[in-house]
Amino acid sequence: MFVVAPSGAEDLAGFIRETLPRETVLGCDGAAEAIARADAARRSGQAAAVFIFDFRGKPVGDLAEQVRQVRNAHTAAELIVIADGRDSAAFAACLQVTQTPETLTFLLAPLQRQEAMRAVRIVAERYRALHQAKRELEERNRSIVGLETRGRELNARLDIAMHAARHDGLTGVLNRAGFVDELTLRLGRRLQKQTVLLIDLDRFKSVNDTLGHDAGDDLVRKICAAMSAIVPAGDILARLGGDEFGIIIEGASQAGVVEFCARVLRVCGQSRRVQGHEVQVSASIGVAYQGDNHTQTELMRHADLALHAAKTEGRNRFRIYDTAIDKAAKHRVSIEHGLERAMNTNQLKMAYQPIVKAENGQILGFEALVRWNSPEHGPISPADFVPVAEETGLILDLGDWITRQALKDCRRWNGPYVSVNLSARQFLRHNVAERILQYAEDADLAPRRIQIELTETAIIDDVERADQNLKILRAAGVRVALDDFGTGYSSLVYLNQFAIDCIKIDKSFVDNVTRDRQSAVIVASVARLAASLGMTVVAEGVETEEQRQILIAAGCGALQGYRFGKPMSARDVTTLLAGLAASADAPEARLV
Ligand code: C2E
Ligand code: CA
Ligand code: CA
C-alpha cells in the first residue's frame, strides 16, 4: 500500500510510518507534489491508497481545492484530513468536492496520538479490505469470464464431439445413432405421424470390388447428396451404414410417400461418373408408417422387414410394411429354427431329377435337390427354406451335408453325373473348391462325374474369388453349370470369361416356347451362341412333348423336367438305372 502524507514540522509521515510499518509512506508538501508523486508511483504500478492532508492552521479555502484535485486524480484512494475542529465550513466544503464521502475521514486537532494511529490504521484497513474485495471481485469476474469462455469452448468441443458421434464422416449427414435419436425425439413429440424409409443400394459390393473402395465411397457420397436434394426441408436423411440410408418424413400422405419413394429410386438409379467410370446401381426401400403407439424400435423393425421384402422380391423397388410381411418374417424365423433341428434329426432327404440327352433321352446325369419334410409344416419347398438358410448362414452346414450325400449316392450309380446346387454364400466360402474335391475323394467319386450349378449372383458378387474357385474345380475335372439362365442381368458373352461348361435355360422360357414364337427364337439364339462359346445347353422344366420338340429344334442338347422324370429318391434312381440297363433294346439308360 502506498500512503502519501505531508512532511512538515511534526513529521506526520514518520508517525504514519510507525503506524503502518509495512507500507510505503511518501512525505510531500502540498497537494501538487502529492499528486505528482502519486502519479509517478501509479505509473510504476503502485496506486496511492491513502492521502493524508494536514490543514492545521491553514486557510480552509485551499483545503477544499486540494481535496478536489486529489480526489479527481485518484478516485479510489482514501482521504484523511487533519484540521482544526473549529471550522465546520472547511468540512462542508470538503464533503462538497468529493462525491465519495465514505472514503473521506476527518481527524480533528489537537491530535490524540493513540486515537490518530487507530484512525489511520482503520482507514488503511478499510482501503485494503475494500480493494482486496474489489480485486477478488475483479479476479472472480475475470475467472467467471474465463470459465464462461472455457465453458463455451467446452460446449463447442462437446458440440463437435456430439456432432461426430451423431454424424457420418463420409457424407456429413446423420449416422445411425443420430437417426435413432431424431426418430425417438419426433415420436416423443406426438405431433405428426412419422414415416421411416430404409434404403439399401443393390449390388453395391460389386462396385467396391471392381472399382475399389474409393470409388465406392465416392458413389455413396454422390448418391447421398442427390437424395439430400430431394428430402423435404425439415425432414431427415441419414447414412446408417455402408450403403444403407434412412429417411424420416413427417406428416406425409400415403400417396405422397409412394411418390417420394419413386423419386428416391429414380435418383439412386441414375448413372453417375465415379473416378472415371460410368456407374449405375439401383436401390431397395423398406417403408414403415407410424401407427398408434409405435416405438422407434418397432418402426425401424417394420421398415427393415419391408426392406428385406423389397430385396427378396427382386430389388430396385420399395415395399411398404404390412402384416403379411410380418407373417412372412415370423414364418422365416420358424423355418430357421426348424431347419436347424431338421439337419440334426434326419428330416432332410435328397431327391434326384434326371437330365437327359435331348435327341434320345439318354440319361446324362441327375440334379440333386434337397427335400425337407417338417413335422410341423409338412413338406417345405427348398425354394422357401434355402433362401432362409442362405440368410442365416445355415446353408454352409446344410450345403456340406447335401454335397456329401449327393456324391455318396452318385458313387453307387454307374455312369451319370450328379449336379449339385451351390448357393452364392456357399460358393463364396473360403476354400470351397478344395472342400468339394475333398468330398469327392471321401466318396471315392471321380470329379468328372460332378457338376455344380451356380446362379450368376454367385459369380458376380465376388468376381475374383469366383474366378479362382472355378479354375481350381475345372482343372480337377468338375463341370460348372450356370443355373436359371435368362432370369439375371448378364450376357453370355460377359459370362464366357468364366470357366463355365453348361448353361441351364430357366423354366420360365421353356414355359413360353409353345405359346409365343419370340421365346423359341430367344432359346434358339442362346443355344447357338452357347455352342459357339463351347458351352452345352440344358433346358429346364420340360413338361410336354410339344416343348421337347421345339427345344430340340432350337438346338438344346439336354433336357430336364417332369416329361422325363420328377425328382426321386436315391433308391428309386438305382432301381430306374438298373431297369433301364436290363431292358434289351437300350445299351444306355434312356428316358424317352
Ligand atoms: P432349381 O435349381 O432351378 O431347381 C429346379 C426346380 O424345378 C426344382 O424345384 C425342380 O423340382 C423343379 N422342376 C424340375 N422339373 C420341373 C418341371 O417339369 N415342372 C415344374 N413345375 N418344376 C420342375 P425344387 O426342387 O423345388 O427346387 C427349387 C429351388 O430350390 C431350386 O431351383 C434351387 O434353386 C433350390 N434348391 C433345391 N435343392 C437345392 C440344394 O440342394 N442346394 C441349393 N443350394 N439349392 C437348392
Ligand atoms: Ca438347379
Ligand atoms: Ca434352375
> CA quadruple 475, 477, 478, 484: dihedral positive or negative?
positive
Q: Please give the C-alpha separations between residue 256 and each of 183, 249, 261, 289, 439, in angstroms, as whole numbers.
A: 19, 10, 9, 12, 56
Proximal ligand: closest to the CA of 481: 2
Provide the grid cell at 251.
406428416
DSSP letters for 295-308: -HHHHHHHHHHHHH
Q: Nearest CA to 559 among 542, 583, 576, 573?
A: 542
Residue with the smallest CA separation from ligand 1 atom 37 is 369
397 Cβ contact list (under 8 Å, min separation 6): 343
The answer to whether residues 27 and 6 touch, using CB atoms and an 8 Å cutoff, is yes
The answer to whether residues 481 and 454 touch, using CB atoms and an 8 Å cutoff, is yes
The architecture in CATH of the region 176-321 reads 2-Layer Sandwich (3.30)
So what CATH class is 2-137? Answer: alpha beta
Residue with the smallest CA separation from ligand 1 atom 24 is 382
Distance of CA 429 to the CA centre of its chain: 26
Q: Cα of 421 to ligand 2 centre, how many Å?
A: 5
Atom of ligand 1 nearest to the CA of 426: 44
Same fold, 176-321 and 331-583: no
Backbone angles phi, psi at 317, to 5 degrees: -160, 170
Neighbour-count burial of 59, counting CB atoms closer than 10 A to its CB (0-12 exposed, 13-18 middle, 19+ buried): exposed
Q: Cα of 353 to ligand 2 centre, how many Å?
A: 10
The answer to whether residues 445 and 415 touch, using CB atoms and an 8 Å cutoff, is no
Who lines ligand 1 at CB under 6 A? Answer: 353, 368-370, 381-383, 386, 402, 421-423, 483-484, 540-543, 561-562, 567
Provide the grid cell at 374.
417338417
Q: Cα of 241 to ligand 1 centre, how many Å?
A: 35
The conformational region for residue 556 under phi > 0 = left, psi -120 to 50 = alpha, else beta, is beta
The answer to whether residues 446 and 417 touch, using CB atoms and an 8 Å cutoff, is no
Residue tagged 441419414 (cell numbers): 238
Backbone angles phi, psi at 375, to 5 degrees: -60, -30
Residue with the smallest CA separation from ligand 1 atom 7 is 541
Q: Please give the C-alpha separations between residue 377 and each of 124, 272, 307, in angstroms, as whole numbers.
A: 101, 47, 26
Distance of CA 588 to the CA centre of its chain: 60
Give counts: helices (H), strands (E), the chain.
22, 21
Q: Cα of 485 to ligand 3 centre, how many Å?
A: 8
Q: Cα of 519 to ligand 1 centre, how many Å?
A: 21
The answer to whether residues 438 and 478 touch, using CB atoms and an 8 Å cutoff, is no
* Terminal alpha carbon distance of the chain: 123
Distance of CA 200 to the CA centre of its chain: 12
The answer to whether residues 64 and 97 touch, using CB atoms and an 8 Å cutoff, is yes
Residuewise pLDDT in 10s, the chain (592 residues): 778 887 765 667 787 888 888 888 888 887 888 888 888 888 888 888 888 888 777 776 777 888 888 888 888 888 888 877 666 666 677 777 776 667 777 777 777 677 777 778 888 887 887 777 777 778 878 877 777 777 777 777 766 777 778 889 899 999 999 999 999 999 988 789 999 999 999 989 888 888 999 999 999 999 999 999 999 999 999 999 999 999 999 999 999 999 999 999 999 999 999 999 999 999 999 999 998 778 999 999 999 999 999 998 889 999 999 999 999 888 888 888 899 899 889 899 999 999 999 999 999 999 999 999 998 889 999 999 998 999 889 999 999 999 999 999 999 998 999 999 999 999 998 899 999 999 999 999 999 999 999 998 888 878 888 999 999 999 999 999 999 988 766 677 777 788 899 999 999 889 999 988 888 888 898 888 888 888 999 999 999 999 999 999 999 999 999 999 999 999 999 999 999 888 756 556 677 7
Task: Tell me how far apart the 2 most distant CA atoms of the chain are, in Å.
Answer: 160
CB half-sphere exposure, 65, CA atoms < 13 A: 8
Residue with the smallest CA separation from ligand 1 atom 25 is 369
> CA quadruple 541, 542, 547, 551: dihedral positive or negative?
positive
Pocket test for ligand 1, best of 369, 371, 507, 547 (most atoms within 8 A of CB): 369
Residue with the smallest CA separation from ligand 1 atom 45 is 421
Residue with the smallest CA separation from ligand 1 atom 6 is 541
Residues having C-beta closer than 5 Å to ion ligand 2: 421, 453, 483
Provide the grid cell at 69.
484535485
Sequence ranges of the domains in the chain: 2-137, 176-321, 331-583
Atom of ligand 1 nearest to the CA of 423: 44
Superfamily name with CATH number, domain 331-583: EAL domain (3.20.20.450)
Residue with the smallest CA separation from ligand 1 atom 21 is 541
Residue with the smallest CA separation from ligand 1 atom 42 is 421
The answer to whether residues 247 and 227 touch, using CB atoms and an 8 Å cutoff, is yes
Proximal ligand: closest to the CA of 484: 3
Q: Cα of 526 to ligand 2 centre, how many Å?
A: 18
Q: How many CB atoms lie within 10 A of CB 196?
A: 27
At 515, is the secondary structure helix, strand, or coil?
Answer: coil
At 46, is the secondary structure helix, strand, or coil?
Answer: coil
Q: Cα of 378 to ligand 2 centre, how many Å?
A: 23
Atom of ligand 1 nearest to the CA of 351: 25
Atom of ligand 1 nearest to the CA of 420: 41
Provide the grid cell at 441.
475323394
Angstrom distance (rounded) from CA 354 to CA 107: 129
Q: What share of the chain is helix, strand, coil (3-state, %, to 5)?
A: 55, 20, 25
